[in-house]
Structure 1
Amino acid sequence: MESHIFRQYDIRGIVGLDLDPGVTEAVGRAFASHVRAATNSENPRIAVGCDNRVSSPELAAGLISGITAAGADVLDIGTVPTPVLYWAECAYGTDAAVQITGSHNPPEWNGIKLTCGRAALYGDAIQELYGRIMHKTVDTGEGNVERKEVLDEYIEDIAGRFTLERPMKVAVDCGNGSGALVAEKLFKALGVEVTPLFCDSDGTFPNHHPDPTVDANLEDLIATVCAGSHDLGVAFDGDADRLGAVDEDGQIVRGDLLLLLFGLDLLDRKGPGQRLVFDVKCSQALPEVFEASGGEPIMWKTGHSLQKVKMKEVGALLAGELSGHIMVADEYYGFDDALYDACRLIWILSCSQRSLGERVGDFPAYVSTAEI
């Protein structure tokens, strides 16, 4: 097993070269052993999901086999976007959660994202899993598997959190990623008039790569918005934990300005003194405007796992990155859910007669550090 696949925030590699069901089985057993120790439980319950890549179901089967072999129980929720897995961890009270996902990487890649106690594993904790595998310090047991369909319940929950104040027309580009399993149905449940783009699930991503931080991947969305009198367009990465957006004129709205919009709305509803955690790549407009509006901006390291830790440490209800990871703990669970974030953005805009472009146009123009 190659050590280089055990990275800072996840486990990731090329399928067939670095990753196969044997690798995911070993990771599952090591992770279940970690969870048993962390929770002091003989039979912890671990939620497992996978994205819509061709390789994901087989890798998930290996993972589940390893988890149960270490004595942990599995809640198998099947093929879902990553934030739906996080939601299931909270909604069903599991001790931990694991998602097989390649995120925004090319189709031949895949990976594993892990959480325990609603906190992402990263850094030394991921290296500890590698050490358990190499030194064979893993548990033995016999766990059970429960399979559950959760997408309809997720959609009902998220759509029920918002009431639009005016009609909204939105173009939605899922890039054939796992967000396609949810987005169109979710937005329609919210009452949005939807123009779908690449909202059929296809893990080979035949139309364009699902990474909204790359401008070229937004060209179809921009053309659709401009052609059809839309209020905005939204796009998701491959596992729907990052949000991209364009305004009514097809102008790209970067992640830091989306985060700022969320922050200003939070101040309007909660009052001054709210804290917002943002990463170092964001433009100066974010802290400048948020502070001038009565908020307390807190700059922190890039990395959504690090952002979530800092968010809890300082008691912030909002955190995010230029990359489009936005974490909301205001009447939500505080993890990066681009599907929820898109609904919240649409709702915020529906509460005002001003367009997305007009609102972003109020912000000073600064340069942000481009994603690479």
Structure 2
Amino acid sequence: MLTPSIFKANDIRGVVTGDQPEWDVAGARAVGAAFVAVLGLAGQEFVLGRDMRTTGVELAAAFIEGAVAQGASVIDIGLASTDQLWFASGFFDMPGVQLTASHNPADYNGIKFCLAQAAPIEPAMLKQIAELAMGPELAPVAKRGAARSQDVLAEYAAHLHSLVPLDGMRRLRVVYDAGNGMAGHTAPAVFGPLDIETIGLFTELDGSFPNHPPNPLEPANLVDAQRAVLENRADLALVFDGDADRCFIVDERGEVVSPSLITALIAQQELAREPGGTIVINTITSRAVDKVVADAGGALVVSKVGHTSVKAKMAEHHAIFGGEHSAHYYFRDFWGADTGMLAGLHVMALLGRSAGTMSELVAGLPVFAASGEINSTVADVPAVLARLAEAFAGRGVQNTDDGLTIEGDGWWVNVRASNTEPLLRLNVESRDAAQMASLRDEALAIIRGEADA
């Protein structure tokens, strides 16, 4: 079974348990077969990993069976974070598949894809996979492929260590919240060899997420790490999402550091290493990054929101680094792919070589007042966007490259449909906090139908 709605802009996401599942084992088998057919992988190999979700084992096995029946062979790396799968794609130089639903609730599962060297799959390919998987069952080919297992966790950790200047650091006390997700698998391998003190929260792999949902974009899911920083007098905390490809930073005061400021911080470092380099951000990353990149003499490229779009821009412009508001961080020396763990290591290295605190490390960066991402469920997205465009007419430059963006003098408003969930997302930013609040409230009233007719 496959429901068309599970095929998103960048990947596959859908409910797999309960009374109304959107896809199942048979669907996973069909997608595995379609993946091989669309990419022409008969007689070739690809690499596959999965996260800790309770349905991961059976869905991965079904995907492998569908792929093998179409003549492809599979290197199964087993339990893996998504960035570990990106690593394996680069390490083996072959396409990759990750069974994960990232930050979605426990009843979801999904699939992320990449080409060799962790290159993003093209939207047209994902559309072809969807069409083929939902059509008549593909007949098995004469020569089946085979599957073998290979653990690459140690190689993944060693590669990350090779990319970060870890010498000369003072000893840090670091809290990390795995949220019962894949950081509980990868963090010990990455942090173990370092001269740091670690305090792990919810490190047991549990796809039911018994402690808090695996989405650090929601402030409630950061509270445990904030409390642990204060109670343990830690230097910082790292909070990972379910598949550990995103990493949020909490400073020594228990305050969350905006991912946009982390983007600016790492961008400064990378531009010092490669003057004039290109940095990629998405539509709703803070304009603080624009200023930092300009001051450092770098070039800035803006992408649509989403890892497929950002990775494509990273490759197109040979960018050294990229960052999104959602704490996805992309590195050229990691095949242009996103890795929360590598970003966390860079932040720890920057802090460990400084004499100050985490809050002092980012204190000199530009500050804008931001609404954060506010989600609403709406029945008619185009109609809402049209009402917003009319309400803001003449008050700023409007752009529809990624939802609707209205940019004024020192402020901007963006409203866009989620790539992964049935939601409309609002983000507002301004140099002035009062102006930000006013713009936020005005836009939100329109989105939720509370404005005067």
Query: What is the SS of the residue equivalent to 1:62?
Result: helix
Q: Is the Cα contact below 8 Å between 2:282 and 2:310 reproduced in 1? A: yes
Report matched runs for 1:135-174 at 5 Å.
135-136=135-136, 138=138, 140-141=140-141, 142-162=144-164, 163-165=166-168, 166-174=170-178
Do 1:283 and 1:369's aligned partners in 2 also have CA atoms closer than 8 Å? Answer: no
Query: 2:84 is aligned with what amino acid?
Result: V
Mapping for residues 210-225 of structure 1, pairs under 5 Å = 210-225=214-229
State the distance in 2 between where 1:206 and 1:133 align. Answer: 34
- 8 Å contact from structure 2 (residues 154, 189) kept in 1: no
What amino acid sits opposite 1:97 in the alignment? G
AA in 2 matched with 1:9: N
Q: How far is 1:164 from its partner?
A: 3.6
2:366 corresponding residue in structure 1: 364
8 A contact 1:282–1:369 mirrored in 2: no
Query: Do the aligned residues in 2 keep the contact of 1:277 with 1:300 (CA within 8 Å)?
Result: yes
Partner of 1:313: 316
| Whole-angstrom CA distance in 2 between matches of 1:75 and 1:60 | 12
| Cα separation, partners in 2 of 1:185 and 1:217, compared to 1, 3 Å | same
Describe the shift of the 1:80–1:154 C-alpha distance in structure 2 as closer, same or farther (beyond 3 A).
same
Counterpart amino acid of residue 350 in structure 2 = I
User: How far 1:357 moved relative to its partner?
Assistant: 0.6
Identity %: 33
Please say if residues 172 and 184 of structure 1, whose CA atoms lie closer than 8 Å, have aligned partners that are also in contact.
no
Quick check: 1:164–1:191 contact (8 Å CA) kept in 2? no
| Alpha-carbon contact 1:184-1:194 (below 8 Å) kept | no
| 1:200-247 deviations in Å (ceiling 9; x for gaps) | 111111111111111111111011111222221101000011111111
Spell out the pairing of 1:80-95 with structure 2 (5 A cutoff).
Answer: 80-94=80-94
2-side partners of 1:23 and 1:186: how far apart?
35
| Unmatched segments (≥5 aa) in structure 1 | none
In the TM superposition, residue 68 of structure 1 has moved relative to its aligned partner by 0.4
Answer with 1 or 2: which has the greater Rg.
2
Q: 1:145 and 1:192, CA in 2 relative to 1: closer, same or farther beyond 3 A?
A: same
Map residues 1-372 of structure 1 onto 2, 5 A cutoff.
Answer: 1-16=2-17, 17-36=21-40, 42-94=42-94, 96-117=95-116, 118-136=118-136, 138=138, 140-141=140-141, 142-162=144-164, 163-165=166-168, 166-271=170-275, 273-329=276-332, 331-368=333-370, 370-371=372-373, 372=375
Q: Is the 8 A contact 1:281 1:368 kept in 2?
A: no
Quick one: which amino acid aligns to residue 18 of structure 1?
Answer: E
CA shift in 2, pair 1:217/1:152, >3 Å:
same
1:169 Cα shift? Answer: 1.5
Amino acid at match of 1:172: Y
Task: Evaluate the alpha carbon distance shift between residue 354 and residue 293 of structure 1 in structure 2; reply closer, same or farther with a 3 A threshold.
Answer: farther
SS at structure 1 position matched to 2:362: helix
Cα RMSD, aligned residues only: 1.6
In the alignment, the residues of structure 2 paired with residue 75 and residue 309 of structure 1 have an alpha-carbon distance, to the nearest angstrom, of 25
Aligned residues: 365
Q: Deviations over 1:50-94 (max 9, x none)?
A: 100111111000000001011001001111111111111111222
**CA displacement, residues 130-182 of structure 1 (integer Å, 9 cap, x when unaligned):** 22124448573300111112212222332344324221211100001011101
When structure 1 is superposed on structure 2, of 214-223 and 286-295 the one drifting more is 286-295
CA distance in 2, matches of 1:350, 1:85: 28
Does structure 2 conserve the Cα–Cα contact (< 8 Å) formed by 1:278 and 1:300? Answer: yes
TM-score (norm 2): 0.77
SS at match of 2:148: strand
Corresponding letter in the other structure for 1:332: F
- Residues 119 and 337, structure 2, Cα contact 8 Å, conserved in 1: no
Instruction: Report how far residue 106 of structure 1 moved.
Output: 0.2
TM-score, with normalisation over the residues of structure 1? Answer: 0.94
Q: Contact 1:159/1:187 (CA < 8 Å) preserved in 2?
A: no
Deviations 1:284-331 (A, max 9, x none): 1110122112222222211111011011111211112000110011x3
Q: Distance in 1 between matches of 2:120 and 2:316?
A: 14
Q: Label 1:324 to 1:256 Cα distance change in 2 as closer, same or farther (>3 A).
A: same
User: 8 Å contact 1:275–1:296 — kept in the other structure?
Assistant: yes
Structure 1 residues 8 and 148 mapped into 2: Cα distance closer, same or farther (>3 Å)? same
Asked if 1 retains the 8 angstrom alpha-carbon contact of 2:153 and 2:189, the reply is no
